[in-house]
Amino acid sequence: MPTSTGIASRLAAARERVDAAATAAGRDPADVRILLATKTQDVATVREAVAAAAELAGDDRPVLVGENRVQELVAKAHDLADLVATGMLEVHMIGHLQRNKINQTLATASCVETVDGLAVAEALSTRCVRDGRTLDVMVQVNVSGEESKSGVEPGAAPALAADVAALDGLRLAGFMTIGARSDDEAVVRAGFARLREIRDKVLASGAPGTDGARELSMGMTGDLQLAVAEGATIVRVGTAVFGARPVAR
Ligand SMILES: *Cc1c(COP(=O)(O)O)cnc(C)c1O
């Protein structure tokens, strides 16, 4: 298979970073999955990355792909429907979800990682119940408090998680965050630790529907080592695999 784009080797290098960070933290590298953040990438590129990821993983778990914008999510999922149908690919929504885009999102995503309020959760629930399906969701937490970031504030996260977990048609799979935009590793790391503490608190609560809320989706190209050190189970990687995006977004 031609590897002239370098995707397979960059993915392998990212995987090595993850594995090294996990081992250093005394964790099993197999407990950390890489989600390919594919915004702005064309379908051929995504296919190449998915094939490389499947080969690298060497197991039959689906490759995770995340999209930020509903329009792109829908277009790509349509073009990648064959991979979704065979169970090779699982698509997550990792961008802010507007309630008027819920139907389109549900048609394509198997997990919405960005639930940040009860209203959007209730709208997802209503839809899922009507369609007779279950959707995995994560509660997005704004651990850094930066105004530009979506997510519920950390103090309100456990209560929101319990409310979401109690809704029919939804399965609370865990928690997601975007790390602080800071050069200070201690600050970034403290944010990731905060998400883990929220997860552990919710798991320990025994509230209905929370027993499966184990995932911690945190860490990107620039801070994935810190996230893995603090317990990430999913790191969302774009630049490390695809190279720099043409336009920041
Ligand atoms: C783009 C994006 C990523 C990946 O970012 P990189 O720095 O390119 O690895 C991860 N998570 C979210 C929510 C994103 O929008």
Task: Give the model confidence (pLDDT) of 72-89 as tens digits.
Answer: 999 988 899 999 999 999
150 lines ligand 1 (CB under 6 A): no
242 neighbors 41 (Cβ within 8 angstroms): yes
14 lines ligand 1 (CB under 6 A): no
pLDDT for 3 equals 47
DSSP β-ladder status, 234-237 and 33-37: parallel
- For range 202-216, the mean pLDDT: 97
Task: Give the model confidence (pLDDT) of 86-100 as tens digits.
Answer: 999 999 999 999 889
The tokens describing 117, both together, are 């309020």
pLDDT for 4 equals 64
Cα–Cα distance for residue pair 191/93, rounded to 1 Å: 22
187 neighbors 235 (Cβ within 8 angstroms): no
68 lines ligand 1 (CB under 6 A): yes
* CA 207 – ligand 1 centroid, Å: 31
Task: Please provide the CATH number assigned to the domain covering 7-242.
Answer: 3.20.20.10
* CA 189 – ligand 1 centroid, Å: 17
Cα–Cα distance for residue pair 243/192, rounded to 1 Å: 25
pLDDT for 245 equals 84
pLDDT classification of 58: cutoffs 50, 70, 90: confident
Classify 87 in phi/psi space as left (phi over 0), alpha (psi -120 to 50) or beta.
left
pLDDT for 81 equals 92
Q: To test ligand 1's pocket by mutation, which of 236, 241, 242, 249 has the most ligand atoms within 8 angstroms of CB?
A: 236
Task: Give the model confidence (pLDDT) of 130-162 as tens digits.
Answer: 999 999 999 999 999 999 999 999 999 999 999
